[in-house]
Structure 1
């Protein structure tokens, strides 16, 4: 993943672009800088590629990307997970074009080279023309380093990258809390939808822990929802916070009462979930289980940003995929309870559709403002993007992590500090 950039990216130029409280608008618009990001960030750090439920059984696979590199995430016959570059070693044709499925092997459509689920080269048509000198053992699909945490699968081209658990650091606590929304069932991906917006990937990266925009951009959602939900989403007045988790990661706590879904189960069941609770009781679930499932359906009260490409947002995964300096693909993966009550999973999907779905009240509004940011950033190289909200009000939390109020731009400052570190490396 070498860059063809002609930009003299060095410590001084990066320092001139990113300050502790602001960043140059050229971060969104410079094609050469984008190329360097693919080489210095996406090729060097841990990138989220899958949830284990998406490749649950031997032979399962899904397509993904690491930067601009197309990859295939596979589970082999021994249940080992591999991440393979989707490029035949003969003449570079992709060996897979189906987003997900089940297979025994991958075969290049051009000349028929065949690869096993672990990427090893298994077949070459008419190989006698190589006079026995074809080094099959060195011509398997390129394999990335793979590590997992709690079912989240990450990959990197960098063999010298720190262990994943160290990279995640304090974010692991929040991943553990996020996974409680499965109510003791296995967390599974229920499906996904994706869209492309005409803007830089960092615009979306900034959004996941940005509460400041919520009552403004999502005013229509607040106007059409029920009063109970409107009160729940009064996030500017609930005492929430944003926390720096290191390595570019951050968390935005919108509803402190829903940080740990296993606490305060005796709280009244929201009226909008009363019918669901009755249906679960009728299915034979005890009252504690009913309350855990209902709490899980609503999702967590926080958004977790894992630098550089994954948001764990309330009740779904948001995955960003850079396409070019001014185009980004966003995938929303709805999450549910594997083997859990059908009514509960249906309720989660309806909530997901209402806000995050293609015709929902969240994603279309977000996409509109992301588009406007990209458009406005074309206004000249001297434009500064302000990141200083609540900078003067930061404190240190119980875990020793820096905190700001719920509308703080601390999450953005955290991400750009990691961006700067990797770009200068």
Structure 2
């Protein structure tokens, strides 16, 4: 029996500064989210570097629906529901690889890389009106920006670039972490936590928690790095970018990684700089070193992906009280091995399973879900900070909950449509 047999109307669950507890707890609300949000907007499914060559594929998700992202023989990217058109079995269970086709293991229906039905064993019993052209895998509208691949079930949706809007300039800045090499995905840390997906969505632009939850991380840094990450009293901000997107600028001097290349190289990067000087001129050494350190902001893209300082964070709703997370390290395609190696070490330091960031974050996410089971009539507050006009939307102090309000405004719009 569901916890909330009489689910409230979605429009009443967010009031602008407060969130109602059923948003974390009610299975009926979760089911509506999967329909009204995850099938009706652009959802991040992959990065182009994960399927670089013809025939490459990987498995992904739109909400709770399994999909395949594949690059065909012409180099075009297709996103298809991982469901045979005959009896609904998945046609692929390999997470990532290379192939010329997909075949259902149940009755042998075979599909091309673009989803078209190629062949059916013993087709004579299907009758004269059997039309293979109408029985390909369900294909989704697919578009990309800066190598980030998005898909949607909604054919009439606005173009991806319009949906991203002002967030595009922040994606452009984030991709400068390639140091003028193409950005590529490297290793990743995957885990799940027993909590609602929106708990994690809130976290990406929440600077208020950083000095408390990540105290152990700050203590693990040298004095210079600790000062860099002590930003609550700095000139940073959080800004609503529209359509649920938001950006949290923590370290303004690291927003554009190609600015101020003559600044002193931090002590923790001196050894890397010396190694790079053996094969690169000084200007490129400084550019690469700044890229290795990561950008000074977190960008939240509604509903499921963040460009978070130096990695991609992807969330996947599993059920109302369980969420899967991917923390994907990014590096430089064709760039110096030393730089990519250090990128991975920095990623492990904060985001890895033995790091100082992800374990602490996931612990408090879980505690939010546990706490939400008590006194369910109480509201969850997202009222911190007063907003004023910014470049692209409402802007608040770096510790304001502007980003959460941005996401929930979009949530309410989509859930009330």
Normalized against structure 1, the TM-score is what?
A: 0.96
Identify the match of residue 52 of structure 2 among 50, 56, 66.
56
For residue 30 of structure 1, report the CA deviation from its aligned partner.
0.3
Report what 1:285 is aligned to: 280
Aligned equivalents of 1:46, 1:11: Cα separation in 2: 26
Report what 2:177 is aligned to: 181
Report what 1:406 is aligned to: 398
State the superposition RMSD in angstroms.
1.7
Report what 2:389 is aligned to: 396
Deviations 1:134-157 (A, max 9, x none): 210110000000011111110000
Is the 8 Å Cα contact of residues 78 and 139 (structure 2) preserved in structure 1?
A: yes
Report what 2:122 is aligned to: 126
C-alpha spacing 1:235/1:352, structure 2 compared with 1 (3 Å):
same
For residue 193 of structure 1, report the CA deviation from its aligned partner.
2.1
Runs of 4+ displaced beyond 3 Å: 5-12
Identify the match of residue 208 of structure 1 among 175, 192, 204.
204
Is the 8 Å Cα contact of residues 239 and 392 (structure 2) preserved in structure 1?
A: no
Aligned equivalents of 1:185, 1:231: Cα separation in 2: 29
Partner SS, residue 375 of structure 1: helix
Deviations 1:209-268 (A, max 9, x none): 000000000001111221121111001122100000000000000000000000000000
Aligned equivalents of 1:351, 1:122: Cα separation in 2: 46
Stretches of structure 2 lacking an aligned partner (at least 5 in a row): none
Is the 8 Å Cα contact of residues 332 and 356 (structure 1) preserved in structure 2?
A: yes
1:99 is aligned to 2:95: yes
Which residues in structure 2 correspond to 1:6-405 (within 5 Å)?
13-282=9-278, 284-391=279-386, 394-397=387-390, 399-405=391-397
For residue 10 of structure 1, report the CA deviation from its aligned partner.
12
Normalized against structure 2, the TM-score is what?
A: 0.98
Is the 8 Å Cα contact of residues 7 and 32 (structure 1) preserved in structure 2?
A: no
Aligned equivalents of 1:324, 1:157: Cα separation in 2: 20
Aligned equivalents of 2:98, 2:164: Cα separation in 1: 31
Aligned equivalents of 2:34, 2:9: Cα separation in 1: 17
For residue 380 of structure 1, report the CA deviation from its aligned partner.
3.5
Deviations 1:255-300 (A, max 9, x none): 0000000000000000110010000001x20000000000000000
Is the 8 Å Cα contact of residues 79 and 140 (structure 2) preserved in structure 1?
A: yes
Count of matched residue pairs: 417
Partner SS, residue 403 of structure 2: helix
C-alpha spacing 1:6/1:197, structure 2 compared with 1 (3 Å):
closer
Stretches of structure 1 lacking an aligned partner (at least 5 in a row): none
Is the 8 Å Cα contact of residues 10 and 424 (structure 1) preserved in structure 2?
A: no
Report what 2:414 is aligned to: 422
For residue 12 of structure 1, report the CA deviation from its aligned partner.
7.9
Is the 8 Å Cα contact of residues 84 and 144 (structure 1) preserved in structure 2?
A: yes
Is the 8 Å Cα contact of residues 212 and 407 (structure 1) preserved in structure 2?
A: yes
For residue 160 of structure 1, report the CA deviation from its aligned partner.
1.3
C-alpha spacing 1:33/1:187, structure 2 compared with 1 (3 Å):
same
